[in-house]
Amino acid sequence: MRLSKLSTLPIFVLSFCSTFLFAGCNPPNPSSTTTLKLLYWQAPTILNPHLSTGFKDSEASRITLEPLASFDNDGNMVLFLAAEEPTLANGGVAADGKSVTWKLKQGVKWSDGTPFTAADVKFTYEFITNSQVGSTTAGTYEVIDSVEVVDNYTVKINFKEVNPSWFLVFMGTEGMILPKHIFEDFNGANGREAPGNLKPVGTGAYKVAEFKPGDVVVYEPNPHFRAPEKVSFQRVELKGGGDATSAARAVLQTGDADFANNLQVEKTILQELEKAGQGKVVANFGALSERILINHTDPNKATEEGERSSVKFPHPFFKDKEVRQAFALAMDRDTIGEKLYGSTGKATANILVAPPQYNSPHTSYELNLEKAAALLDTTGWQDSNNNGIRDKDGVEMKVVFQTSVNPLRQKTQAVVKQGLQSLGIDVELKSVDASVFFSSDPANNDTVEHFYADLEMYTTGNTNPDPGAYMKTYTCKEIPQKENKWSGQNHGRYCNQEYDSLWEKSTTELDPEKRRQLFIQMNDILIEDAAVIPLVHRANVVGVSNSLTGVDLTPWDLRTWNIVDWNRR
């Protein structure tokens, strides 16, 4: 058992650049040397990562909030609020694998001057796991039995069972700590009403000065930051809205911005913009994959309470495995990967794509329309009335296929539609503004959680070298419903007891090889069952100005994770 050897984890990271200095840049405008301009075409709508669905909100939150620790490109632990890495040798990781004790940095203050203590860590756990709050990260923390404050600067995490992945909680993307004194009066059904959701108090290098949801976040230096000498900018502007192409142009061609996130743009456009010489495209292959989710419930039926896509009503044709497999066979992944993504994406058959030791060798994909048609014929879905659309028992095979507004995604939709239509399937394409699609607003019917469509497409993946929390996404308990405020991550409503059993075993299996095989089996079930259709293993693609230094991408945290190290050349 080697729970402490996190730094030896082999991480699959192929990057064009990671930490970099670009030569031959133009001198910066003096008026911009103290202002850092970030472009996020998917605009943040909330600054509490535990109430957020999309990475866009977590990215903006990460500039001011911090976890106990995170992982760099190579899987080495990087400390933020923790004073030391817990290990078996120093007693931080219990020999029985059922607890971990963190030593915290002393003298750290929140941006309002209040001291940071172990009580904040305990409260963050209580907030996340309060079912009335409806936290989107609650699933990751279900392994915890209790959080114990040993003293002001020591916190002990007790697990319900032996836990080989003790480092999933309070780490990285899903581990940001909230201030108890700001949220303790909002630890319940009123959680989304907390002022701290819109103007967070954090321990990071910058604090929020102004926030207009769906538009802009303005940050200024945190006057109580523990290392003020490292803070390089007097103002940070995170601008949302627009589209990925205009964001890329602002950094790569016109030089109007310093950093552009998530450049989901066709390869030919990026190559042309980069020729202007103002910045560089930086791509990092982590664990993200663009996938199509299949709705296993009927989006067109509603319960007496008005809940659509309810587990009470199975989907009229996706309930058949052969139909789902036929849809998967109609996906032209090679065209999507090679023609649209190019060097920033490659076709994949797997949902779990990184680290590489978890990438299943048993799966494959193919574009085979004849085989797909035969499957549909066999299941009785045929065009009985000669109107060009397959039908069965009076139900026509019509699907609504939704995704966020983005030229690359709309072109992907077109490729998918062409394949499905050739099989006699009617496809209606729907595109939703990203700020709405990923808003996690319980009252918004167009979010990925509500999934009031038949197919939907977006990118996600494990945010930790250990895929435990990510693979939990497909368990039955993670299904978003009205009763849990649509806070679950299993948006497709897939439920398979065999899959759930494998995941449960993975939570207590200490043998690394046996645990690796469990995750591969889980991936294989999802693919064989066509529970979800992976399309492309996507790189994290950003644009960085030639005048900006210190940007260091990691697959295991947000792009802004080390913003304290960013500087102007």
CB atoms within 10 A of CB 45: 26
Given this model, what pLDDT does residue 33 score? 67
Q: Give CA–CA dist 437/125, Å, rounded.
A: 27
- Which residues have a Cβ under 8 Å from the Cβ of 377 and sit 6 or more positions away? none
In which residue are the tokens 């836990």 written?
A: 163
Whole-model pTM: value is 0.79
Main-chain phi, psi angles of 537, to 5 degrees: -75, 110
| Nearest alpha carbon to residue 61 among 193, 214, 217, 179 | 217
Query: What DSSP assignment string belongs to 69-120?
Result: EEE-TTS-EEESSBSS---TTTTSB-TTSSEEEEEBPSS-B-TTSPBP-HHH
Cα(first)–Cα(last) distance of the chain, in Å? 45
Across the chain, mean pLDDT equals 91
Q: What is the largest distance, in Å, between two alpha-carbon atoms of the chain?
A: 75
| Nearest alpha carbon to residue 545 among 308, 258, 150, 261 | 258
Q: Which stretch of DSSP H or E encloses residue 326?
A: helix 321-329
Given this model, what pLDDT does residue 16 score? 35
Q: Give CA–CA dist 563/543, Å, rounded.
A: 15
Is 349 exposed, middle or buried (CB count within 10 Å of its CB: 0-12, 13-18, 19+)? buried
Sign of CA dihedral 132, 138, 142, 146: negative
Q: What is the pLDDT of residues 288-309, one digit of tens each?
A: 999 999 999 999 999 998 999 9
CB 182 within 8 A of CB 198: no
Residue 255 gets the label, from left (phi > 0), alpha (psi -120 to 50) or beta, of left
Task: Tell me which amino acid residue 493 is.
Answer: R
Q: Give CA–CA dist 477/483, Å, rounded.
A: 12
CB 254 within 8 A of CB 510: no
Q: What 3-state DSSP class applies to 10?
A: coil
Domain 288-463+530-539 in CATH 1.10.287.10? The answer is: no
Cis peptide before 361 (omega within 30 of 0): no
Task: Report residues of the chain scoring pLDDT below 50.
Answer: 1-32
DSSP structural state of residue 449: T
